[in-house]
Structure 1
Amino acid sequence: MSERELSHTVQSNMWFTPVLYVLFSSLLVIATLTSDLKYDLGNQMRPFFAVDYDLTRDLVGTLTAAILTLTTFTFNLILVVFTTFSGQFSPRMLKNFIASKSTQRVLGIFTSSFIYMLLSFLFLNKRLAEYYFAVPVLAALIAALSMGTFIFFINHAVAWLQVNQMTYDMKNEALSIMKSTLEEEVDPYKVNDLSTLNSKICKEKGFTITAGKSGFIQLVDFISIINEAERDDIVIQLEYTIGSYVFASTPFITYWKKGENEVDEHKYLTLISIGRRQTEVQDIEFSINKLVEVAIRSLGNYDPKTATNAIYQLGEVLASISRGSIFSKYLVDKNNNLRVILQERDFNHYLYNAFGSIRHYAKDNVIVCTELLKVLDLMAKSLNKRDYNAVWEFGVFTASGFENLFLFALDYQQFYRALQNLAVTTKHEKEYEEFLERSKK
């Protein structure tokens, strides 16, 4: 498992952070019991803050049961949140709530508090100390911390369930994946002008490598593949992209070699992770699909405002992809030799992946489609100019078929004004006039 996979797995699991907190609470138990039992801190503080054995035992025992009840109620609240998200929005977003640092820290505090109370209660001994100070004082402070944490968690759950915050977090996740995968990891090795390459694309039939196991392509170590291909002096073509599902017998790598040197095919398989589910580590389309599913579910629940909010967040992600990505499928090494050929992914692909399904499910909703045209216009104002045609063509595709669906004159006015603004932004005024003439016939 690579460092990025390990980090993602740890972050998306509920057990890691609570375990760290439990270890810390165990150290606190050792420290407080040592202070009271070995160094007799209770007797030293007796005139002021010392607590006798009976009161200490009653206090710690009561807090043990109370914190266990509070922890159980918190877990129940998490299950309620999960059920709400699964039914109303998307089950894919449950991992986002689990991976939230606030959620994991809350569970860590509750779990470690219960363990501290339990261990302290277990090792209290009247024969070793008649009076205690560190154990009851710290128990009271931990109980106060747990109560404050519970109030914080209720506020966190309520805030996280708000649609605006939820879609905003998913948008930031997609932008983070785009920056780490596209801009920082892959784009530095891309080249657009094939005439500058020292290698020619091989036309003859190459050697194939099968996947070896079924599953989703989760992670590709592009940099290591380029380095290994340079070392073996070969050109590699990846037949599938991240997020694709492959069978064990699927030929998903093709390579060409210049000489008769032997190529260790297994090492290239180790540089590509295949698993049972899709992950967000490198798969920006998977993060985009979360927002798409929120929009579609909202349309089905007659909640156009939530759908519109998700559409605007998608628009910002697409604008960032257009500005920051190099849409080339050719990766080169440091000597400008062609080493890796990817699957074709241009702005059209991401645009359709984000808005195609929404357009389909909103085909009878003039208001939502008008908002979609407004988002396209807003995107176009910050897009790379090379993508103007793609946005305009999608806008025309969205506008087609609405001639008989306008209930009021205002629907018609708002809809075609949004399309006209898009035409002006993308420099397609003439095409807009032609489309308008065709729609009147």
Structure 2
Amino acid sequence: MPKLHAVRAIWDGVRTSLWFLPAILGAMAPPLVYLARSLDALFDGNSLQGNAAWLYRGGPDQAREIVATILSAIGTMTSLVFSITMVVLTLAAGQFGPRLVRNFMARRQTQLVLGTFVLTILYALLLLSALGKEQQEGTFPSVTLAIALAALCLGLLVVFIHHLATSIMSETLIEAVGGELDDSVAKLDPAEPEQSSDVDLPQDFDQRAAFFGMEGFGYVQSVEIDQILDAARRADVVIGMDLRAGDFVIANGRAFGIYPAGRATQALAAQIRAAIMLGPHRTPVQDLEFPIRHLVEIAVRALSPGINDPYTAVSVIHRLSAAWPQLTKRTVPTGVYHDVKGRLRLVGPNIDHAGLINAAFSQIRQAGAGMPLVLIHLLKTFRSMAPCTRCAAQRDALAAEIEAVIEDARREIANSADLRDIEEHAKRALLQLQP
């Protein structure tokens, strides 16, 4: 039975697909046709006709012609919508990176528009086959519903075009990915950073442990910690993991070790493998760096010679810093886990605030090392982040990034006035870091 994190990883893949919501809306077409035809039978020759002047009234041939016209028109509009969507996805992949296409596909507005068009086409198609020539002239609520759906599609087409025009703006995309980062941070446990554990594996772990690999390859999409802890407790072993969510693993490589080796069995190794879900791509489930990497990719591509858009990179820097105040109030996973009795059972790779700062800003600094604008905004950002630090480790991490900016500037910036400006901003940022 899939566990919580595995289900979340599967759900993330489903909700970010273009077929999910259209499939649900498309499945509503048959019962909708059945209900509409039931209303046709209710209104046929009934005294209710006098109170329903807004409903379509005519012969079956005219009704079929109207539905056929709607079917043809909506089919053409659907082709247009899909074509526009593909063009936008191509542009987004070229400018922001192919991994950002996921964010466009996950937008509910796009899925809703496509789903409504699919619903209308299936409804018109089924209704066309249900309208029989043997019927007499009368009132057809089913045709009125088809007309209403067509009008809804026309309105959604205008909204959809406006939505696509705004969605390819860099600020819109940056905010969308930044929202994912905020959600990931909000899922972390609130705690003081100073409470991070220094527990490590036994000193003779490498000598006395039995090591195993995964049977397949791919990115680690989720790790069921509770399932591994339960297996380790029942076998009375300590497990050392060499991977975490977001890592890429190869078949039969070193993935985890079981200590001591005498208690390691193939059945136990299979239980641990079953708790690790692999896939062809990374997911935000348990992977705090996932949205950070997406934001960084936007900035790095913007700083490439082919695009040369430093202002987009500056916007990314600002959005990354916006998550810092909440991140410092959260405890990032330490990779150390105990069972219910407090005994050490699992030690895996950890990530700390310094690693997250490095992941967020180092690549941007490297790509923009020769651009004073980017370096100055990095230093201004570090200065604004400094008051939010809550421990010496966080201050040291920020100080290391500031020193790296100074080193890159002295190597890459030829203009002495620009260099003095950068050094002045760095001095102010370092002063702000003093406790």
Q: CA deviation at 1:384?
A: 2.3
Q: Tell me what 1:63 maps to.
A: 70
Q: Tell me what 1:431 maps to.
A: none
Which deviations, in whole Å up to 9, do the C-alpha atoms of 1:193-221 show, x marking residues without a partner? Answer: 54xx9x96654421112111111111111
Counterpart secondary structure, 1:280: coil
Aligned AA (2:323): V
Q: CA deviation at 1:129?
A: 3.8
Q: Tell me what 2:118 maps to.
A: 111
Q: CA deviation at 1:371?
A: 0.6
Q: Tell me what 2:346 maps to.
A: 340
Of stretches 261-270 and 112-121 in structure 1, the one that deviates more from structure 2 is 261-270
**Aligned: 1:97 with 2:104:** yes
**Aligned: 1:407 with 2:410:** no
Check conservation: 1:279, 1:286, Cα contact below 8 A. yes
Q: 2:180 aligns with which of 169, 173, 176?
A: 173
Q: CA deviation at 1:17?
A: 1.1
Check conservation: 1:51, 1:136, Cα contact below 8 A. no
Structure 2: state its 5+ residue gaps.
Answer: none
Structure 1: state its 5+ residue gaps.
Answer: 429-441
Check conservation: 1:209, 1:254, Cα contact below 8 A. yes
Q: 1:137 aligns with which of 144, 148, 160?
A: 144
Change (3 A) 1:250 1:94: same
Q: Tell me what 2:251 maps to.
A: 248
Which deviations, in whole Å up to 9, do the C-alpha atoms of 1:392-439 show, x marking residues without a partner? Answer: 111011111434725363x345423321221122118xxxxxxxxxxx
Change (3 A) 1:63 1:260: closer
Q: CA deviation at 1:131?
A: 2.0
Q: Tell me what 1:216 maps to.
A: 219
Check conservation: 2:336, 2:348, Cα contact below 8 A. yes
Change (3 A) 1:177 1:31: same
Q: CA deviation at 1:244?
A: 1.6
Q: Tell me what 1:366 maps to.
A: 372
Change (3 A) 1:191 1:116: same
Q: CA deviation at 1:148?
A: 1.4
Aligned AA (1:296): V
Q: CA deviation at 1:52?
A: 2.5
For 1:261 and 1:347, the matched residues in 2 are separated by 34
**Aligned: 1:317 with 2:320:** no
Check conservation: 1:237, 1:254, Cα contact below 8 A. yes
Where do 1:408-427 residues align within 5 Å? 409=417, 411-427=418-434
Where do 1:16-415 residues align within 5 Å? 16-36=20-40, 38-41=41-44, 44=47, 46-47=49-50, 48=53, 49=55, 50-180=57-187, 182-183=188-189, 192=197, 194=199, 203=205, 204-257=207-260, 260=263, 264-300=268-304, 301-326=307-332, 328-386=334-392, 387-403=394-410, 405=413, 407=415, 409=417, 411-415=418-422
Change (3 A) 1:235 1:273: same
TM-score, length-scaled by structure 1: 0.88
Check conservation: 1:210, 1:253, Cα contact below 8 A. yes
Aligned AA (1:30): Y
Aligned AA (1:233): D
Q: 2:12 aligns with which of 4, 8, 32?
A: 8
Q: CA deviation at 1:150?
A: 1.1
Which deviations, in whole Å up to 9, do the C-alpha atoms of 1:331-385 show, x marking residues without a partner? Answer: 1222221111011422222222221211111111111111111111122221223
Counterpart secondary structure, 1:63: helix
**Identical-residue share of aligned pairs (%):** 25
TM-score, length-scaled by structure 2: 0.89
Check conservation: 1:12, 1:99, Cα contact below 8 A. yes
Aligned AA (2:38): T
RMSD: 2.6
Change (3 A) 1:267 1:261: closer
Check conservation: 1:42, 1:133, Cα contact below 8 A. no
Of stretches 259-268 and 16-25 in structure 1, the one that deviates more from structure 2 is 259-268
Aligned AA (2:360): A
